[in-house]
Amino acid sequence: MKMRTLGRNGLDVSALGLGCMGMSGVYGAADRGESIATIHAALDRGITLLDTGDFYGSGHNELLIREALQGRPRDQVLLSVKFGALRDPENRFIGFDGRPVAVRNFLTYSLRRLGTDYIDIYRPARLDPTVPIEDTVGAIADMVKAGHVRSIGLSEVGAETLRRAQAVHPIVDLQIEYSLISRGIEAKILPTCRELGIGITAYGVLSRGLISGHWSRDRMADAQDFRRMSPRFRPENLERNLALVEALRRIAEAKSASVAQIAIAWVLGRGEEIVPVIGARRRDQLTEALGALDLTLSAADLAAIEHAIPPNAAAGTRYDAHQMAVLDSER
């Protein structure tokens, strides 16, 4: 497995991470046995980074990971956990809590559900606009001192918040959406991370399946999940976005690769400090994703990809208007 390093203090991680969110219903029903087999296969193939959130299935995802890690050495894996999002019993998001007292409470439950006494990277899933980032990060820093957390990460915050947080405690990585069709971080956020020595764990590299090469108009009819609400999957935008995928497919075919592999290889090629966190839910998807590590994109390939999908080519925003409005990274 190729390795990369996150953050100035040097956290070594596999060049691809596995995001487990889709194993807890966010993209429709998931098969428990196949989810666990996928986590096992990832670890067996050398993936060391598993990403989760305490609100993924309201605890379901952490319990699933605990089950998958039974009998495995704890130090074989780096657990990246997001906290702070609040849900009601109907699974709706009802707010965000980044208060120091809440940090300690969320962490206590995550440690218990995961069956571990430390979390490798702990991060607020979003910026709580009512709590200074210094307070939230300061509370996690206390948990680092107490030995419950190893490193602090952030998620979907902008350059200013990164600077303020880094002044309190070293930030190991920023988790943020980055893909061929979501390149917003290139203007300010990515240069700031580079300046401050903060790594990037990139999610949505396949734009939640849209640019995986496996999405089609027919699949939309069944989708009762996040994607039904996502602007880029809406009928008025889907046509254009799938045309971009077809342009990418022609490039992939010429390289005997798949569309997903080209999309992942492109992100991998954007910088050594970037670790794509791939949302494979099945072993076949994982195998396909791992194939991207063997792909080299030449200058000519990159030019062809850039021509096929120029920046801002996608129709529709990456979240709906309500969610876009709460993203510190979009300010």
Ligand X SMILES: NC(=O)c1ccc[n+]([C@@H]2O[C@H](COP(=O)([O-])OP(=O)(O)OC[C@H]3O[C@@H](n4cnc5c(N)ncnc54)[C@H](OP(=O)(O)O)[C@@H]3O)[C@@H](O)[C@H]2O)c1
User: Which one, 255 or 299, has the nearer CB to ligand X?
Assistant: 255
Q: Which residues pair with 152 in a beta bridge?
A: 122, 171
Q: Which of 38, 182, 207, 329 binds ligand X (CB under 6 A)?
A: 207
Other CB atoms within 10 A of residue 46 CB: 15
Q: What are the distances in angstroms from CA 1 to CA 14, 44, 177, 224?
A: 6, 10, 23, 36
Q: Which of 119, 133, 205, 297 binds ligand X (CB under 6 A)?
A: 205
308, 251 in Cβ contact below 8 A? yes
Q: Which of 113, 208, 232, 318 binds ligand X (CB under 6 A)?
A: 208
The verdict on whether 27 is a catalytic residue reads no
Q: Which of 56, 122, 203, 319 is catalytic?
A: 56
Per DSSP, 15 falls in state S
Q: Which of 6, 13, 14, 27 binds ligand X (CB under 6 A)?
A: 27
- Touching ligand X, residues 118-177 (CB under 6 A): 125, 155-156, 175
328 is a site residue for ligand X (CB under 6 A):
no
φ/ψ of residue 232, rounded to 5: -70, -15
Tell me the closest approach of the beta carbon of residue 103 to ligand X, in angstroms. Answer: 17
51 is a site residue for ligand X (CB under 6 A):
yes
SS (H, E, C) 209-262: HCCCCCCCHHHHHHCCCHHHHCHHHCHHHHHHHHHHHHHHHHHHHHCCCCHHHH
Nearest to 83 by CA among 43, 63, 55, 60: 55
Nearest to 198 by CA among 136, 155, 142, 145: 155
User: Which one, 28 or 138, has the nearer CB to ligand X?
Assistant: 28
Q: Which of 141, 157, 260, 295 binds ligand X (CB under 6 A)?
A: 260
Residue located via tokens 């405690």: 169
Tell me the closest approach of the beta carbon of residue 211 to ligand X, in angstroms. Answer: 8
User: Which one, 262 or 297, has the nearer CB to ligand X?
Assistant: 262
Other CB atoms within 10 A of residue 43 CB: 18
Tell me the window of 166-174, 246-254, 266-274, 284-292 that interacts with ligand X (CB under 6 A).
284-292
Structure tokens at 211: 């640019």
274 is a site residue for ligand X (CB under 6 A):
no
279 is a site residue for ligand X (CB under 6 A):
yes
- Touching ligand X, residues 228-257 (CB under 6 A): none
265 is a site residue for ligand X (CB under 6 A):
no
As a residue count, the chain comes to 331
Residue located via tokens 């734009």: 207
97 is a site residue for ligand X (CB under 6 A):
no
Tell me the window of 16-24, 71-79, 95-103, 249-257 that interacts with ligand X (CB under 6 A).
16-24
| Cα–Cα distance for residue pair 94/108, rounded to 1 Å | 21
Catalytically annotated residues: 56
Q: Where on the chain is the footprint of ligand X (CB under 6 A)? A: 19-22, 27, 51, 82, 125, 155-156, 175, 203-209, 212, 214, 260, 277-281, 285, 288-289
